[in-house]
Chains A and B, each alone.
Chain A
């Protein structure tokens, strides 16, 4: 493993080692959020939330853009996705489906 990917792994693990940052990432992966709106979701200062957002951005997990006075943050889906993780996602869909089939078949017995 070269230095660059070591650094990247460090940044990733650091970014994801904090519960608030994981929560922020979950939110921004499901859609763009203003930093103001994110800050309103947590019992901490705007500056503290902004700092968390900056850590996620540095790790390449989150992208920021400006719209007027707002800073909008969105999760970098490309960074956290690959074919393997997509297949994992499909697995959870299918596990749900199989459980529903099983439940329906059991209802009759």
Chain B
């Protein structure tokens, strides 16, 4: 697995995952610059993503929807804040309605993706921050995630903490 580090900060509700890819930084960047490639990696195979708008520039917006196995669509958007090609970009990720307009009542996460050259290729760090635990929960509740697996992970996590407190 290319994942080399996972950092979770429950206080700040921040999640960061580091991965090493055997491809140059420019190649990894190209994946985000091309909506057809981006949609291949964004959603799980059971919830394929389709990017409708794609503007990877400061102030630019991406819109996308994910289609459930039952054909239901879950839409979202990215508002791009900062772009430093090919090393980093920052954006806010939120939910959208059926017409792909941002839904202001649903949570928005702040995201920072960085790509650095290494001897073997690229070290990517993906960071997501949520304003509150409720926001994080809502994001996970939106049906984007694989249900059964995550349910059992929750139980495992809960048991692990119960044991720690004992």
Contacts and interface: CB of A to CB of B under 8 A. Distances in A.
Interface of A: 1, 5-6, 9, 12-13, 16, 22, 25-26, 29-30, 75, 77, 79-102, 104-106, 108-109
Chain B contact residues: helix, strand, loop or mixed: helix
Given A13-B159, A94-B126, A86 B140 contact: yes
Given A85-B153, A106-B22, A99 B147 contact: no
Contacts of A9: 162, 166
Chain A contact residues: helix, strand, loop or mixed: helix
Interface residues of B, number: 49
A106 B40 CA distance: 13
Contact of B150 (A83, A92, A95, A106): A92
A100 B44 CA distance: 9
Contacts of B19: 98, 101-102
Nearest to B2: A102
B10 A87 contact: yes
Given A89-B140, A95-B3, A104-B40, A82 B17 contact: no
A90 B156 CA distance: 14
Nearest to A78: B137
B13 A89 contact: no
Contact of A30 (B6, B31, B148, B165): B148
29 contacts: A6-B166, A9-B166, A12-B158, A16-B155, A26-B148, A26-B151, A77-B141, A80-B151, A81-B158, A82-B157, A82-B158, A83-B136, A85-B153, A85-B154, A86-B140, A87-B10, A88-B153, A88-B154, A89-B153, A90-B140, A94-B6, A94-B17, A96-B44, A98-B1, A99-B1, A99-B2, A100-B40, A101-B124, A104-B37
